[in-house]
């Protein structure tokens, strides 16, 4: 016989498990938490802890049907959709850095030099890998990971479990925000890209004035050197633009967590 004090333990555990679906789905797609080198056990523990906090901020009832039923399926799908939308909003702002890195690498002639990205497990250009590391450090420096966790917890009040459905206007906002991803990536790459375009104009002028000059032997070292110097000089400007992009991602995640 179960002791009276433990009579509702099973139902409470089910509530915790259902509450951890939303943060668990967000951590799969969000930067830092969703990195390939982060153990799954860490994500499960964090999702469970967030679920504990969420159950103290809002109360909700589980579907009364069996585990495999239409109401339970809709409940789980709604939680997964909201969690993925919150994490994906921040991921969009974070991915603009990767676009900037690929743009700068191709302009410098380093598009062939790739490294394994621990965030995604895919190969990325070396400049893109450098900017991804910089963006990760900036995200942690501005407490972006804590803002994301706070957004997930606050979303339980605006979108209670069982009623977590995103409207068409909010989905359209997500699509439009995804369009700004490319604009922010080009804006991050603009300082270095502008300097490299000027170098290309100079090299083209030299090619016309000195046809005997071997541009492959001179142009590539000059372009790489100028790109590295420009990257070092414009690092503060690039960092400010990355923070702006991350802030846009966090704002969009908060908009999704607040139900639009």
pLDDT range class, residue 122, cuts 50, 70, 90: low
The pLDDT of residue 2 is: 41
The helix-helix angle for 70-108 and 126-141 (nearest 10°) equals 120
Question: What is the chain's mean pLDDT, rounded?
Answer: 78
The pLDDT of residue 9 is: 64
Q: 123: helix, coil or strand? A: strand
Is 174 in contact with 85 (CB distance < 8 Å)? yes
Q: Which range scores top for mean pLDDT: 4-8, 30-34, 148-152, 254-258?
A: 148-152
In a domain, 91, yes or no: yes
In a domain, 3, yes or no: no
Within 10 Å of residue 185's Cβ, how many Cβ atoms? 22
In a domain, 1, yes or no: no
Q: What's the rounded Cα separation, in Å, for the pair 242 and 189?
A: 10
pLDDT at residue 159 greater than cutoff 70 = yes
In a domain, 60, yes or no: yes
Domain total for the chain?
1
In a domain, 234, yes or no: yes
**Residue 124: strand pairing partners:** 115
Give pTM, 2 decimals.
0.78
Domain with 186 in it: 8-257
In a domain, 119, yes or no: yes
């Amino acid at each position: 016989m179960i002791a009276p004090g433990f009579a509702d333990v099973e139902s409470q555990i089910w509530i915790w498990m259902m509450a951890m679906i939303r943060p668990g789905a967000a951590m799969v797609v969000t930067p830092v938490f969703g990195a390939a080198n982060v153990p799954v056990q860490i994500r499960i523990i964090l999702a469970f802890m967030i679920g504990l906090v969420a159950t103290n901020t809002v109360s909700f009832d589980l579907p009364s049907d069996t585990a495999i039923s239409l109401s339970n399926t809709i409940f789980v799908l709604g939680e997964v959709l909201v969690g993925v939308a919150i994490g994906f909003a921040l991921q969009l702002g974070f991915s603009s850095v990767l676009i900037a890195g690929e743009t700068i690498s191709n302009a410098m002639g380093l598009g062939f030099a790739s490294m394994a990205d621990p965030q995604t497990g895919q190969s990325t250009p070396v400049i893109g890998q450098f900017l991804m590391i910089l963006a990760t450090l900036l995200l942690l420096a501005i407490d972006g990971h804590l803002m994301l966790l706070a957004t997930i917890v606050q979303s339980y009040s605006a979108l209670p479990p069982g009623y977590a459905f995103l409207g068409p206007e909010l989905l359209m906002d997500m699509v439009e925000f995804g369009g700004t991803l490319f604009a922010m990536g080009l804006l991050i790459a603009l300082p270095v890209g502008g300097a490299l375009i000027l170098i290309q104009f100079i090299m083209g002028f030299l090619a016309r004035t000195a046809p005997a000059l071997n541009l492959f032997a001179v142009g590539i070292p000059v372009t790489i050197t100028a790109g590295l110097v420009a990257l070092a000089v414009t690092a503060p400007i690039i960092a400010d633009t990355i923070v702006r992009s991350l802030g846009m991602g966090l704002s969009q995640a908060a908009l999704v967590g607040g139900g639009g």
